[in-house]
Every structure is written in C-alpha cells, then in structure tokens.
Amino acid sequence: MRERIVTFGPEGSLVGVLTMPEQSRANAPIVLMTNAGVLPRQGPHRLNVRLARALAEAGLASLRFDLSGRGDSRAAGAGGGELTQAVADFQLAMDSMQQTAGVERFLVFGICSGAVGAYHLLNTDGRVAGAFMVDGYAYASRWTTPVCRIKRAMAGSWSDRWHAVRRRLPGAVAVPSGNVTAKPPPRAPDSVFPNPDVTAFRASMQSLVNRGADVAMVITGSELDYYSYAGQFRDVFGRDAFYNKVRCDYCPDIDHTCITKHAQNRMIDLTRAWAVAHLTRSAAAQPES
C-alpha cells in the first residue's frame, strides 16, 4: 500500500491523501471519502484512514480529502450553499483523479453530512457509480415510534419500566427517568439537512437505479428515534420498483461515530464488502470483448 498527499482545486486549496494498493484491480473505481460534519478528513475516530487502508488491501484506491474550509483545506472564495460547495469540491476531486490517474468512475463513502453530500453527488454527477451512506436520509414508518418506545422500555431496568408506566397513569407524579431510557437530543443532521420530500426521494432513487447506480445505506443504533427496526425501509419503500435494487442495512450494534472498535471493524467490513461486490457486479455487466 502507498499513500500520497494530493492538493487540488483552485490554487491547490483542497488537501487529501490518495491511498493506493500495491496491485490495483482492473477498471476499479476510486473510493472518495470526506468529512463527517466538522471533523477532519481522517473521519470519526480515524475511521476513514483505517477504511482507506483496508480498501487498499482489497485492491481498491481511495481519496480522502477535506471539503473547503474544513480540516486542512482552505475556504472557498465565493459563498454558496454548504451542499452546493460540497458537491463542487467532490467534482474537483474527481477532475483531479481523472487527470492524474485516468480514473473515470468513482464510489463515495459518507457518514452523516458526508452521506448527505454523497447522495447529492450521486444525483448530480454520472461519474459516481455508487454511494455507501451511513446515517444519511431516512424515513419513518408508522411503526418507527412505537417500536422505538418498546425498545427503550425493554432496555431499561424493571424500575425504569415501572416508572415509565407510572408516568402514564392519571394523576401521575413526575418521576425522573434514568439515563438509559432518556430520549437523546434530536439528531443534528435533521435540522441541518432536512430529509427531501419523500416523493422527490422516491423519484431520485428510481432514477439512480435506472442508471445502474449502486446505492447502499446503513442506519446505526444511534438513530433509534428515526429508524428503529430492520424492516423499516421495506415498510416505507417496499412497493417501489427500486426497493429490491437498493440496499438498506439496520445496524443497531454500530453507533453514529463508530466509537467502539467493534463498530469501526463492522463498518469497515461492510463498506469493503460493498465496494468489492460492486466491482464484481460491474465486471459481470461489462460486455465480453
């Protein structure tokens, strides 16, 4: 494996690290990774660095870079929306890799705001063959909240459960809940990047599937209030034509920032397997020469 610092964009203002395998797979795309929120490009708990090196072991090159104004990259001159700028930065990264490495297809991995950026890039630029999006956009079914409540109640101690029942009785006296059953604050991305209207989301997913894009989503255990059971994606989108072509994994043992080594290893395994499977599918889809 080799790693090389690359600078690109206007006056080399964007900074990244290109991780290359000793032996690349034929016609392999480059996997792009960038910031999750305000974190530098190394990702939460250095996940992107570990993922890049794991991908290289599997024969895949990757570029992790800082978006304008984040990490080691300088801010962009002209003001645009955050998502618009992110997509523009991704496109500069792809331009650079096309010019210097001759690669024309890309995959994108993103967590949180990185997943939102990946979604919009996938919908904007045909060079992107697929995206692996962790805790990006997610839509609740009618069962999401009831299942969430049941899971929280079951997770608490018997005392917590009793107090939960007492709080719902007429004339109940307020009883402080334990840490375990306390509802976490709303997830920040929902306020920063609200879900697209579900109709628009459906249309874009169908469009992506029609053009053969490889779409994978992972929802972690941190999103319990918004995604609470494995069949939620099916319950919301099961009747849509794209449903069987899009992968959505519910991973309650992984948290939003992969704080445990178990979570990091699982995330790396899932992403690497997806990227390698993409290569296999792409090769199978290529007409024989």
Residues near other proteins, by CB under 8 A: 1-9, 11-12, 15, 17, 36-42, 44-46, 49-50, 53, 71-72, 74, 96, 99-100, 112, 151-152, 155, 179-180, 184, 188-189, 192, 221-225, 252-253, 255-264
**Nearer to other proteins among residue 2 and residue 166 (C-beta):** 2
Smallest distance from other proteins to CB 121, Å:
20
Q: Phi and psi for 154 in degrees, rounded to 5? A: -70, -25
Smallest distance from other proteins to CB 115, Å:
13
Q: State how beta strands 30-33 and 14-20 pair.
A: unpaired
**Nearer to other proteins among residue 214 and residue 255 (C-beta):** 255
Say which residue the tokens 């919009």 belong to. Answer: 120
Smallest distance from other proteins to CB 80, Å:
20
Q: State how beta strands 128-134 and 106-111 pair.
A: parallel
Under 8 Å between Cβ of 66 and 72 = yes
Q: Measuring CA to CA, which residue among 242, 249, 142, 237 is closest to residue 198?
A: 237
**Nearer to other proteins among residue 36 and residue 129 (C-beta):** 36
**Nearer to other proteins among residue 191 and residue 286 (C-beta):** 191
**Nearer to other proteins among residue 14 and residue 215 (C-beta):** 14
Smallest distance from other proteins to CB 284, Å:
32
**Nearer to other proteins among residue 47 and residue 129 (C-beta):** 47
Say which residue the tokens 């006056």 belong to. Answer: 11
Token pair, residue 119, equals 């979604």
Under 8 Å between Cβ of 223 and 138 = yes
Smallest distance from other proteins to CB 282, Å:
27
**Nearer to other proteins among residue 204 and residue 220 (C-beta):** 220
Smallest distance from other proteins to CB 234, Å:
21
The torsion region of residue 97 among left (phi > 0), alpha (psi -120 to 50) and beta comes to: alpha
State how far the Cα of 48 lies from the Cα of 40, in Å rounded to an integer: 10
Beta pairing partners, 240 = none
Q: Measuring CA to CA, which residue among 81, 88, 79 is closest to residue 34?
A: 88
Smallest distance from other proteins to CB 279, Å:
22
State how far the Cα of 266 lies from the Cα of 254, in Å rounded to an integer: 8
State how far the Cα of 72 lies from the Cα of 66, in Å rounded to an integer: 6
